[in-house]
Amino acid sequence: MQVFLHQFFDVGFMVEHFDEVLEGFWLTIQIWIVGAVLALAWGLILALLRQLPGKGVLPVRFVTIAYIDVFRAIPLLLLIVLIATGIPSLTFLPKAIRIPEWLGKPDPFWYGTLALTITYGAYMAEVYRAGIEAVPRGQIEAARSLGMSHRQTMRHVVVPQAVTKIPAPMLNELISLMKDTTLVSVVALNETLQVASDIQSHSYNSSALTLGALMFLIVILPMARLTDKLIARNQQKITRGAHIEVA
Amino acid sequence: MLQLKGVRKRFGELEVLRGVDLDVARGEVVCILGPSGSGKSTLLRCVNLLEPPEQGEIFLEGQDICKGPGSGTGESSWNLDFVRQRVGMVFQQFNLFPHKTVLENVTMAPEKVLGNSKQAAKEKGTALLERVGLADKLGQYPERLSGGQQQRVAIARALAMEPHVMLFDEVTSALDPELVKEVLDTMRELAQEGMTMLVVTHEIGFAKEVGDQVVFMDGGVIVEQGKPAAVLDSPREARTQKFLGLVLER
């Protein structure tokens, strides 16, 4: 027991390395926020492209659906490695894009953000789609009969209602996204996992990793509780027969 | 004003409209009756191209709205703008925008589609909502309103686009009985003001009183049409007699 506690829960060791791990966690939060904002925007664009009406844009719809299917199927870890090892070798690209160091962040940060955006954009697109499809058909007909274009209908009628129907699944994706930022450690970004496992490999003590896990818990547990609450509230609405959220 | 010639529409195997001809004069109120599945609603939806017909012609103010680039695809083309700015529609389920207030429901299309200023749209919307007796509900959200009030908002919303023709698709069918009258009264006033109206309804009394013409549809065709008194009191066709018998028996 003593050995177990020393290996995983050495409080003195945690205190000693707290600042280093926290610095890594701060980078985790940053890549999470940048990735989340980009994935939310990209996902909405994908979802809207997928909903375009008419025969003329059939190819656009097809490509969008193919994109969403493909990137939901490719492992994120593989994609991160693919991007981080491949893009620097594309010599025809300007250096600022091959090896991006925007906003003072190292290039692995941006490779990771790109991979997260690509993959989570596809996930988010599916969440938006569920929300858009949950808006009653009559809403679209009413807007169209008032002379609004497809674009105006989406912007002023469908999307504002769709986003109120999907906070729970959206939060779930954001939680997954946060956890998946640890995968970017594979390309040597000094986020939580990378920092903590460096400490472990020097000291053979795993407590820094435990500390990293605790930091994740502190942020994610409230989000998970909130998700449950939203789902429960929605369930009540459904049993009352009011408008339905996608949970 | 509005002429339909040989309008046909099918959904897959099912032919819902099998050649409909109809003439509607300016200021006329045409009430369309018939059993469910007879094609009444589809006919209305053809007129504002929510369901573009496959065959036949629809003339609105002399223009054939089924012709021209993009026609039949249900997407943007000159005729879609032409039609939707001249034809207003009110639905059975109201279809108010739940995330907008009553006033915003009415001002949205004038602002976004007609390009009216916020101020102008607001004045027009307020006036219209006063006219349908809802001046005290401007800032409310639709879910706080009764069905009858919601339907009157829907009428005001359609009128805000200053349509030349109004389509009513069973607008009282989803209402509690005691709320039907307030909606019918609003429609009656509209008719008296000279609005051209196509009304799909089961309200025989309304058809008799307000209608200039009554059309009875069954199986995707017009079975009988004429003056309300003629069609409703002494129908010639057996199908009309049977339907009216069933409705009036209630």
State the CATH number of the domain containing residue A188.
1.10.3720.10
Does B76 or B135 have the greater pLDDT score? B135
SS3 track for chain B: CEEEEEEEEEECCEEEEEEEEEEECCCCEEEEECCCCCCHHHHHHHHCCCCCCCEEEEEECCEECCCCCCCCCCCCCHHHHHHHCCEEEECCCCCCCCCCCHHHHHHHHHHHCCCCCHHHHHHHHHHHHHHCCCHHHCCCCHHHCCHHHHHHHHHHHHHCCCCCEEEEECCCCCCCHHHHHHHHHHHHHHHHCCCEEEEECCCHHHHHHHCCEEEEEECCEEEEEECHHHHHHCCCCHHHHHHHHHHHHC
Residue A245 has pLDDT above 90, yes or no: no
Question: How close A83 gets to chain B, by Cα (Å)?
Answer: 40
| pLDDT value at residue B186 | 94
Question: How close A148 gets to chain B, by Cα (Å)?
Answer: 6
**Where residue A240 falls among pLDDT bands split at 50, 70, 90?**
low
| pLDDT value at residue A246 | 52
Domain that holds residue A120: 2-246
Residue A20 has pLDDT above 50, yes or no: yes
Most confidently modeled range among A32-36, A52-56, B32-36: A32-36
Who among B73, B91, B158 is closest to A55 (CB)? Answer: B73
Tens of pLDDT along A73-83?
Answer: 999 999 999 99
User: Domain tally for chain A?
Assistant: 1
Residue A104 has pLDDT above 60, yes or no: yes
Residue A244 has pLDDT above 80, yes or no: no
Tens of pLDDT along B46-59?
Answer: 998 888 888 888 99
Q: In this predicted complex, what is the ipTM?
A: 0.91
Q: Please enumerate residues of B whose Cβ is less than 8 A from a Cβ of A.
A: 48, 50, 73-76, 81, 84-85, 87-89, 91, 93, 95-99, 108-109, 112-114, 154, 157-158, 161
**Where residue B73 falls among pLDDT bands split at 50, 70, 90?**
very low
